[in-house]
Amino acid sequence: MTVPTGSTIEIKGLERAESDQVRGRTGLVHGATVFAILLVVPLGSLSVEAHRLAAIMGAVVVLWISEALPMPVTALLGAVACVALGVAPAREVFAPFADPLMFLFIGSFMIAKAIMLHRLDRRVAYSVLSLRIVGASPMRILFAFGVVTAFISAWISNTATTAMMYAIAMAILAFMSDAAAREGKSLDPRYAAALMLMTSFAASVGGLATPIGTPPNVIGLGFIRQLTTTELPFFSWMIIGVPVVVVMLLTVFFVFRNAGRDIQGGMAESARMLEEQRDKRGKWSTGEKSTVLAFGATVFLWMLPGILAIAYGDNSPEYKAVTARVPEGVAALIGASLLFMLPGGNGERAITWKDAAKIDWGIVLLYGGGFALGVLSFKTGLAESMGKGILAFLPISGETGLVVGSAIMAVILSEVTSNTASANMIVPVVISVSLAAGIDPVAPALAATMAASLGFMLPVSTPCNAIVYGSGYIPLKQMMRYGIVVDVVGVVVIIAAVKLLLPLVR
């Protein structure tokens, strides 16, 4: 297996950039065309406001899929258009930007920034991968690599996790490739592809474990809370999400089970490299200790309502007091605030505002804009009309049928656009379809939310896939072949988890 050169990757990057430019220009034209058509074509008995909102949302969906503009910009543009065209007053349109879940994003992003700043994620990764029982076998490395990636991804950005673990995976493959070359052999391309795909797949899967693991989770929870008045606390989500992650991670490993069976050379060198990287971390720094303290306090506050619900019941005064006074967003901000108070070494705090300000504000704005459009679709009656229209064409009925249909629609959509955009588009529609059918919308909406984080077949499906595809180790056909298996299993597992476990937490 030839290690890809820098020039090869640069050529691929240029080709992708040119393709993105063409797609972007085409997307702008198509978005404007869809907006104009929907604005002038009669749409049944819709109100004027709902009709205009339909045109705006049609254009926004096209721009999101084509990525003609940065996705946060498209979300903001959609909100601005709602005010400019009189769909609703500015105070009402921009109210979702102050939703409590916005502050869950902000607080958790700051904590994640501190984890990466002090390289706590790398300490965890190298500590596990350097264990003797792991480094002695290529398949154990593959399995442990997936477990570590999924665990880290449950707490920080999937993309950031993939980028970090990608660098570690490339180092492992380089050592194994050099060892094979000394024996006159080449690295088994199946193992190289498996390790790269494990990096991406485990990062995407791991994000399902917690509400903050990936933006679609928070987006879906926001729609469920706002449009169905149902709360799914942090602990309740984990009761559903963690089993999904465990089953899917085992599935991914099973898919790659034969990739490293014949590899012998290079394992000793890789094991030494991992041990050296672990030892370089040295003793725990002050910043690492402070970050663990702030992170631990936040996780405790996130899980406290669930613990109280188990101990006293969800109608108890203790449970109600904690959920009212310390919701997830407040807990995240408490943890983030601790970082500015606790020491970080060298006379500084665990995090400075300069570092904290570098969080992904684009996701925050994307959530606000998408949430605004979803809420307005219900207030104007557009969602109800869409729900009834879609229901007439769907060959499914009952809650189980809607759960299945919602998960399938979400995963298909996530293959052609980002997971975040998929959640923004699909969850409000699923809720409207459920309400139009007279069915409790929580189970179908939750299935759509979780399935929006799938999409493993194509490099464009998620940034995680794009990162590892750029390594040159993964043929597109191989990504598609493995990806469709994980997609199908993911849909089945999510449907089963929602049907079996959701009743336990409501």
pLDDT digits (tens, 9 = 90+) for 75-124: 899 999 999 999 999 999 999 888 887 888 898 889 888 988 988 888 88
**Residues 386-404 pLDDT 10s:** 777 766 666 667 888 889 9
pLDDT at 258: 72
Q: Which residue has the higher pLDDT, 8 or 277?
A: 277
pLDDT at 1: 39
Query: Are residues 145 and 45 part of one domain?
Result: no
- Count CA atoms closer than 13 A to 487's CA, side-chain side: 21
Q: Do the Cβ atoms of 68 and 105 come closer than 8 Å?
A: no
pLDDT at 225: 87
Does position 5 have pLDDT exceeding 50, yes or no?
A: no
pLDDT at 494: 96
Q: Which residue has the higher pLDDT, 375 or 269?
A: 375
Structure tokens at 93: 């349109």
Query: Are residues 182 and 34 part of one domain?
Result: no
Query: Are residues 266 and 184 part of one domain?
Result: yes
The last residue of one of the domains, among 314, 333, 356, is 356
In a domain, 452, yes or no: no
Weakest-pLDDT range from 29-43, 145-159, 247-261, 429-443: 247-261
Segment of 186-190, 358-362, 498-502 carrying the highest mean pLDDT: 498-502
Query: Are residues 331 and 258 part of one domain?
Result: yes
Does position 220 have pLDDT exceeding 80, yes or no?
A: yes
Q: What is the mean pLDDT of residues 249-274?
A: 71
- Write down the pTM of the prediction: 0.77
Instruction: Provide the domain limits for residue 12.
Output: 1-93
Query: Are residues 70 and 135 part of one domain?
Result: no
pLDDT at 378: 81
The 3-state DSSP class for residue 369 equals helix
Query: Are residues 200 and 88 part of one domain?
Result: no
The last residue of one of the domains, among 64, 93, 122, is 93
Q: What is the mean pLDDT of residues 324-353?
A: 91
Does position 441 have pLDDT exceeding 80, yes or no?
A: yes
In a domain, 229, yes or no: yes
pLDDT band at 352 (very low <50, low <70, confident <90, very high): very high
pLDDT band at 23 (very low <50, low <70, confident <90, very high): low
pLDDT at 496: 95
Query: Are residues 70 and 107 part of one domain?
Result: no
Taking the mean position of all CA atoms in its chain, how far away is CA 359? 16
- Count CA atoms closer than 13 A to 144's CA, side-chain side: 22
Does position 266 have pLDDT exceeding 80, yes or no?
A: no
Q: Do the Cβ atoms of 101 and 329 come closer than 8 Å?
A: yes
CB-based burial of residue 126 (10 Å sphere; 0-12 exposed, 13-18 middle, 19+ buried)? buried
As a whole number of angstroms, the distance between CA 248 and CA 253 comes to: 9
What's the domain count of the chain?
A: 2
**Residues 413-430 pLDDT 10s:** 888 677 887 888 888 888
Q: What is the mean pLDDT of residues 323-346?
A: 90
**Phi-psi category of 342—alpha, beta or left, where left has phi over 0 and alpha has psi -120 to 50?**
beta
Does position 204 have pLDDT exceeding 60, yes or no?
A: yes
Query: Are residues 107 and 29 part of one domain?
Result: no
Q: Which residue has the higher pLDDT, 460 or 328?
A: 328
The 8-class DSSP code of residue 284 comes to: P
In a domain, 483, yes or no: no
As a whole number of angstroms, the distance between CA 264 and CA 174 comes to: 15
pLDDT at 263: 56
In a domain, 505, yes or no: no
Q: Which residue has the higher pLDDT, 178 or 499?
A: 499
Does position 136 have pLDDT exceeding 80, yes or no?
A: no
For the chain, the average pLDDT equals 83
Query: Are residues 197 and 82 part of one domain?
Result: no
As a whole number of angstroms, the distance between CA 284 and CA 159 comes to: 26
